[in-house]
Structure 1
Amino acid sequence: MNQFNYYMPTRILFGKGQLNNLHEQKLPGRKALIVISSGKSTRSNGYLERVEKELDKANIEHIVFDKILPNPIKSHVMEGAACARENGCDFILGLGGGSSIDSAKAIAVMATNPGDYWDYISGGTGKGQPVPNKPLPIVAITTTAGTGTEADPWTVTTKEETMEKIGFGYDDTFPYLSIVDPDLMLTVPDDLTAYQGFDALFHSTEGYINRYANEVSDMFALKAIELIGRNLAKAVKDGNDEDARAKIALGNTLAGIVETTSGCTSEHSMEHAMSAYQPKLPHGAGLIMISKAYYEHFVHSGACDDKMIAMAKAMGKENAARPMDFVDALTDLQRACGVADLKMSDYNIRREELPQYVAKARDTMGGLFEVDPVDISDADALKIMEASFK
């Protein structure tokens, strides 16, 4: 049996209608900063109003910070933290997708700590300093199934001045409480359902082939791959399919637990570089673009043949017998979800710029290359990017 560390301090309320139980929970403060995106959906779908009513029932004061972008930026983290301090908020509630909840975690850190957020970031121009004070407690209410951030300590932020998109997190950035209510995901458009679902899938596949994967992470990863791989196309085709939505939501949350027990590989490093330079590129879409060539690299390496076959079987290829069956299952799912033909060029990525994306991936999140099942050199990464370019 492998050695592993398992720490999961988050209370997760999962299932249909769970948002209605928020007011009954022991919340970690008396005044919340509600962090939402700058878009309209959180308000127009009534989710913000429902959360506010739940907090009112619990006699919890609240204010709203509504500037978060799909690819969160450091300046909004600093602004949100100042807002929390100035208004005497004693916990942060992230409501929305991964960007809102990730930002809530980063805001919680900076609401109680001095200096700049990048003082505590490792990689790139980050100073990697220890965080002196505990963050404010975090409550996560997810309205998408994409990052699993409700079940892990991680948060990803871009320093816009230097185009560095870097992950961060430690034990104190686990949410105190998370609510995963699939009913809140029924309104997600089909394209975003696909992008987010593939992000969750890749958290699971990367965590499964990670060279430091273990018995516990493998268990969660394979179940997440099964749930997402067999249900994502259904949710994309019919967003009101409650059974498919619930299974994708569960797969996503399990993928978050994979992130706490194993972790991402260099696929995420490479995509972070892409969406750091091109912030309008949805993270999941970028992952889809490079995924076929990325996993083909491991097929050709022979480094994780058994795991590739196991992932293919989990996705529904019951008779899988060769590593390439996983790549075939992956591309079949992308076609079924209508995302097989995404183009880097549609997001202003040019072929001649690909070496700078590879360099940025290594500089900002080079640690993820160290956990790949076989070493990926810069030349290898460039070949993957070039093979993915359209």
Structure 2
Amino acid sequence: MKLYMPTKVYSEKNCVENHSRELAALGTKAMVVTGKHSSRINGSLEDVIGALERERVPYVVFDDIEENPSVETVMRARALGIKEGADFVIGVGGGSPMDASKAIALMMANPEHDERLLYTKAQVSAQGPVYPAFPVAEVPTTAGTGSEVTPYAILTKNVLPDIVLTTVPGAAAQGAFSHLEKKTKQSISHHIFPALALVDVSYLQTASRSGCIHTAVDTLAHLIESHLNTNTTSYSRIYSEMGLRTWARIKDKLLRYEIGEEEREALMRACTLGGMAITHTGTSLPHGLSYPITCEMGLPHGKAVGIFLPGFIRNYGDQEEVMKMLSLLDFGGVQPFSEYIRQLLGEVSVPEELWERTMDEVLANPAKLKNYPFMLDREHLQLFR
């Protein structure tokens, strides 16, 4: 077994202010990556800018990160970062800005390459990664992805045939993906751990009801998929078991949406634990099945993942382990869990043609199957719906 968790995490109120010196020490000019609205409403962007100004570190803000960020957006941000001479990146927001910040940090540090580098197999030499990234700090404002402690960055990309990386002199080539229509969500090939995670539960106070529920279900999926996983170990289950117990304490209040400070703290703690868990195991089939649903139906990520959780645990190959996991969540069986998810998320109908294509894509992709520790054929996968 192995355990590797290189991200320094501070989880406390006012942690951006409290640890501004460590934030500023990551470089000489910051690229702040965020979305258009929420980081301004919840105060996180103001706090980050205040910390940088207090430490006299110059910065540039890129605030055009969309939900399910695209490769094109990453490349636009990279161009701005290089132009401004930034040498570290701060992601502020939910999973989209935090994931994008990692990809941007990679591309800024490798200006001779175009966007194909994102999906080129990572290489490591005796001196470290062949394609290093600039340092990244994350300031999460949702309790869902756990991206503040994972090395993953999920981007929306156009489907392309296999490609071979080439170097491009000078600035990166732009728009190589722009004329293809079909999109998918896919993790970049490089693992980029944040150097610093500044987790302040105060930023959750302005979250909407739907946003809170969908991100909480994403956390739940991380904990379940890590626990029931080919790569699970006694070490990874330290995180998943603690996270499942934490989630169990607020599940009834989440259903009634009685979310106060104590519940927000529990959600944020479970989120970070879920991120630590999947860092060591990866996600499994509910996430793999969700990506086409998100891209083509426009469902929020957490909801798209959540609709597959009941089928996943109902048909998992080791039901004894499923029952152990459900006991940690304080459910008496699969049926009460399934009914809970239905009440929480509502009914979702996936069109038959989309479901057939989704199954085809999953079964044809070994990367989406490797974390499921049992044989899987189409007949079995059909039951996950």
State the TM-score bracket (shorter-chain normalisation): 0.7 to 0.9
Aligned residue in 1 for 2:273 = 254
Once the 2 structures are TM-superposed, how far is the Cα of residue 115 of structure 1 from its aligned partner? 2.9
Q: Is 1:371 the counterpart of 2:378 in the alignment?
A: no
Once the 2 structures are TM-superposed, how far is the Cα of residue 147 of structure 1 from its aligned partner? 0.8
- Identify if the C-alpha distance between structure 1 residues 285 and 118 changes in structure 2 by more than 3 Å, giving closer, same or farther: farther
The DSSP-based 3-state class of the residue aligned with 1:355 is helix
Once the 2 structures are TM-superposed, how far is the Cα of residue 119 of structure 1 from its aligned partner? 3.6
Once the 2 structures are TM-superposed, how far is the Cα of residue 241 of structure 1 from its aligned partner? 0.8
The DSSP-based 3-state class of the residue aligned with 1:75 is helix
Instruction: Give the TM-score normalised by structure 1.
Output: 0.85
* Aligned residue among 208, 212, 215 for 2:227: 208
Of 304-313 and 214-223, more deviation after overlay is shown by 304-313
* Aligned residue among 35, 45, 60 for 2:57: 60
State the one-letter code of the partner of 1:306: E
2-side partners of 1:208 and 1:233: how far apart?
22
- Identify if the C-alpha distance between structure 1 residues 239 and 24 changes in structure 2 by more than 3 Å, giving closer, same or farther: farther
* Aligned residue among 70, 94, 99 for 1:97: 94
Contact kept, 8 Å, 2:121 with 2:189, in 1: the verdict is no
Output aligned runs, 1:72-91, within 5 Å.
Answer: 72-91=69-88
1-side partners of 2:118 and 2:60: how far apart?
27
Aligned residue in 2 for 1:308 = 322
Aligned residue in 1 for 2:290 = 271
The number of residues matched between the two structures is 356
Q: Is 1:289 the counterpart of 2:303 in the alignment?
A: no
* Aligned residue among 135, 153, 156 for 1:158: 156
Contact kept, 8 Å, 1:269 with 1:362, in 2: the verdict is no
Unaligned runs of 5+ in 2: 124-128, 159-179
Aligned residue in 2 for 1:28 = 26
Instruction: Give the TM-score normalised by structure 2.
Output: 0.86
* Aligned residue among 68, 93, 117 for 1:71: 68
Residues 107-144 of structure 1 show CA distances to partners (whole Å, capped at 9, x for unaligned) of 111112233334442xxxxx536473310100000000
Of 129-138 and 7-16, more deviation after overlay is shown by 129-138
1-side partners of 2:255 and 2:146: how far apart?
19
Output aligned runs, 1:198-237, within 5 Å.
Answer: 198-235=217-254, 237=256
After superposition, the CA RMSD in angstroms is 2.1
The runs of 4+ residues in structure 1 deviating greater than 6 Å are none
Once the 2 structures are TM-superposed, how far is the Cα of residue 234 of structure 1 from its aligned partner? 2.4
Aligned residue in 2 for 1:124 = none
Contact kept, 8 Å, 2:10 with 2:199, in 1: the verdict is yes
Contact kept, 8 Å, 2:42 with 2:204, in 1: the verdict is no
| Structure number having the greater helix percentage | 1
1-side partners of 2:86 and 2:290: how far apart?
34
2-side partners of 1:333 and 1:151: how far apart?
28
The DSSP-based 3-state class of the residue aligned with 1:103 is helix
Once the 2 structures are TM-superposed, how far is the Cα of residue 32 of structure 1 from its aligned partner? 0.9
Once the 2 structures are TM-superposed, how far is the Cα of residue 221 of structure 1 from its aligned partner? 0.6
Contact kept, 8 Å, 2:307 with 2:341, in 1: the verdict is no
Aligned residue in 1 for 2:108 = 111
The DSSP-based 3-state class of the residue aligned with 1:151 is coil
The DSSP-based 3-state class of the residue aligned with 1:174 is coil
Q: Is 1:331 the counterpart of 2:338 in the alignment?
A: yes
Contact kept, 8 Å, 1:146 with 1:200, in 2: the verdict is yes
Contact kept, 8 Å, 1:187 with 1:239, in 2: the verdict is no
Once the 2 structures are TM-superposed, how far is the Cα of residue 343 of structure 1 from its aligned partner? 1.5
1-side partners of 2:73 and 2:3: how far apart?
32
Of 256-265 and 16-25, more deviation after overlay is shown by 16-25
2-side partners of 1:169 and 1:381: how far apart?
26
2-side partners of 1:86 and 1:191: how far apart?
38
1-side partners of 2:254 and 2:58: how far apart?
36
* Aligned residue among 134, 150, 156 for 1:136: 134
Once the 2 structures are TM-superposed, how far is the Cα of residue 382 of structure 1 from its aligned partner? 3.5
Unaligned runs of 5+ in 1: 122-126, 386-390
State the one-letter code of the partner of 2:79: A
The DSSP-based 3-state class of the residue aligned with 2:32 is strand
Once the 2 structures are TM-superposed, how far is the Cα of residue 170 of structure 1 from its aligned partner? 4.5
- Identify if the C-alpha distance between structure 1 residues 129 and 29 changes in structure 2 by more than 3 Å, giving closer, same or farther: closer
The DSSP-based 3-state class of the residue aligned with 1:149 is coil
- Identify if the C-alpha distance between structure 1 residues 129 and 369 changes in structure 2 by more than 3 Å, giving closer, same or farther: same
The DSSP-based 3-state class of the residue aligned with 1:219 is helix
- Identify if the C-alpha distance between structure 1 residues 117 and 359 changes in structure 2 by more than 3 Å, giving closer, same or farther: farther
Once the 2 structures are TM-superposed, how far is the Cα of residue 77 of structure 1 from its aligned partner? 1.0
The DSSP-based 3-state class of the residue aligned with 1:376 is coil
The DSSP-based 3-state class of the residue aligned with 1:284 is helix
Residues 165-221 of structure 1 show CA distances to partners (whole Å, capped at 9, x for unaligned) of 1113545x1000001111111111111111111111111111111022100011211
Contact kept, 8 Å, 1:22 with 1:55, in 2: the verdict is no
Once the 2 structures are TM-superposed, how far is the Cα of residue 232 of structure 1 from its aligned partner? 4.0
Identity of aligned residues (%): 24
- Identify if the C-alpha distance between structure 1 residues 239 and 167 changes in structure 2 by more than 3 Å, giving closer, same or farther: farther
